[in-house]
Amino acid sequence: MILPCYLNHICVTYSPVMSKQKRNLKGLTVPELQEFVESLGEKKYRARQMFSWLYGKRAQSFDEMTDISKDFRTLLHEAATVDNLKVAAKEVSERDGTVKFLFELSDGLKIESVLIPPEKTSPAAEKRLTLCVSTQVGCPLDCKFCATGTMGFLRNLTVGEIVDQVIQAQNRSPKRITNLVFMGMGEPMLNYENVMKSVEIIRAEDSFHIGARHITISTAGYADKIRQMADEGRTVKLALSLHSLDNAKRAELMPITKKYGVSELMDALNYYYKKTRNRPTFEYILFDGYNDTEQDAQLFIKISKRFPCKVNIIPFHSIEFTHPSGFAKTLKPSPRARVEQFVEQLRKADITVMVRSSAGEDINAACGQLAVEEENSRKGSRAVQSRKTEAAPITN
C-alpha cells in the first residue's frame, strides 16, 4: 500500500519484513553474536561457532559454514550478511615483496593495507609477516609529510572493515600474518572504540590469535587516549608518530601538536609507561636539515632519561605526486651519512634504535599513496602515474 507521508514524499507503509535490514555479522564480538542468534530463536552456543567461522576460518559466506544446520543457514541468509572487502587493486614490490592492497568498501570508498615482509636480521625475524591496516578513510590531521593527510577525512571504518583487512590479506598470503600495525590511513585514536573492538576480535584464540605484544597502535599524538589506554590496561604496544621533540617544529609538521603539545604528550607517555611498564616507540622520519641535527638527538637523549623508549627511524617516501606546496614542499629525506650520525648519537646514549628499510618504495607503499592516486583519478586529476596494478588476488 502506497501512502503520501507528511513530508509530501511517497513512501511505502510500514512493514516489519520490509523494514528489517540484514545485519552484517563481520565485526561482531561473541556477546554481540550471542544476542543476534538469540534474536533468531537459536541457542547461544551457535555464536561461538559463527565467531570461529567468521574469523578463525575466514568464511566468506554462510554456505561455507558446513557444521551449521541447513535450516539455520537459511535463517541466516534471510536475516544477515557476511560483507567482504573487494580487492580493487594490488601491487607487489619486485624489490622486496611488499604487497599493497587497495580495498573497495561497500559504499565505493577505497582504503589501503600493506603486507610488509620480514627484514632478514635473524631467523626469528624472518618468520614475521606484518600487516599495516587502516582505521579511517582519509584522515583529518593533515600531517605535512603524509599522502593520506592530503585527502581530508571521509569517514571512520567499522569494526568489520578493520578486521576484514586482516581476513582478506591473510586469504591471499601463503604465510601466516604474525604482526599487526595500526599505521595505515587514518588516526586510530579518532576511531578508538572500533579499533579496540577489532583488536579484541583479532586476539581471540579461535580467531587470528595474534598476541597483544605483536599488535602496535600508532598515534599522531592524542594524549587523552594514551592515558585512556593505560587506565584500561591495554597491553598492545603503543607508538607515537613523533618526528620532532621541538614543539614549534612539530606543530609545523603535525598540526595536532597545537592541541596536544610535546610536553603534554611526554607526560602522557610517562603515565602510560608507569601504569603498563610498556616501553613506547617513537616513529621518527629524518628530514634533511630540519629535525636531524645534533640538538634534535640531544632532545631524545633527555627524554629517554625520563622513561625507556625505542626509536624507529622511518624512511621518507616521496609525496611529490600530491603536488605539495609551501612548507611540505621543502621536506626532503636526510642524506645517509646524517642518518648514520643521528643513529650513532642515540645508540651511544643506550637508546634502542631501529632503522627501517624502505619497504615497497618501488610501489609507493607509504600511507595513503595509492588511495590518493585513486581519489585523484576519480576526480579526473592528472596526478595519476601509470603503474603495474593487478585486479586479481596474489595467491590462496
Binding residues (CB under 6 A) for ligand SF4: these are: 139, 141-143, 146, 148-149, 185-187, 220, 241, 367
Extract the C-alpha cell encoding 396: 590462496
Q: Please, is 337 exposed, middle or buried when counting C-beta atoms within 10 Å of its C-beta (0-12, 13-18, 19+)?
A: exposed
CA distances from 210 to 22, 130, 234 (A): 30, 11, 14
Select which of 91, 112, 161, 283 is catalytic: 112
Select which of 139, 367, 374, 375 is catalytic: 367
Residue 307 or 316 with smaller CB distance to ligand SF4: 316
Q: Cβ of residue 152: shortest distance to ligand SF4, in angstroms?
A: 10
Q: Cβ of residue 306: shortest distance to ligand SF4, in angstroms?
A: 24
Give the closest residue to 258 by CA, choosing from 221, 307, 287, 295. Answer: 221
Q: d(Cα 80, Cα 394) in Å, to the nearest integer?
A: 29
Q: Is 162 left (phi over 0), alpha (psi -120 to 50) or beta?
A: alpha
| Residue-wise DSSP of 75-86 | HHHHHEE----E
Residue 56 or 315 with smaller CB distance to ligand SF4: 315
Give the closest residue to 314 by CA, choosing from 279, 353, 349. Answer: 353
Residue 142 or 246 with smaller CB distance to ligand SF4: 142
Q: Which residue shows C-alpha cell 613523533?
A: 242
Give the closest residue to 290 by CA, choosing from 247, 340, 334, 355. Answer: 334
Q: Cβ of residue 81: shortest distance to ligand SF4, in angstroms?
A: 29
Q: Cβ of residue 186: shortest distance to ligand SF4, in angstroms?
A: 5
Q: Cβ of residue 241: shortest distance to ligand SF4, in angstroms?
A: 6
On whether the CB atoms of residues 316 and 333 are closer than 8 A, the answer is yes
Give the closest residue to 232 by CA, choosing from 278, 266, 264, 267. Answer: 278
Q: Which residues are 182's β-sheet partners?
A: 217
**Catalytic residue check, 367:** yes
Residue 91 or 187 with smaller CB distance to ligand SF4: 187
**Catalytic residue check, 132:** no
Residue 84 or 150 with smaller CB distance to ligand SF4: 150
Length of the chain: 396
**146 Cβ contact list (under 8 Å, min separation 6):** 139, 319, 366, 367, 368
Residue 134 or 304 with smaller CB distance to ligand SF4: 134
Q: Cβ of residue 178: shortest distance to ligand SF4, in angstroms?
A: 23
Q: Which residues are catalytic?
A: 112, 367
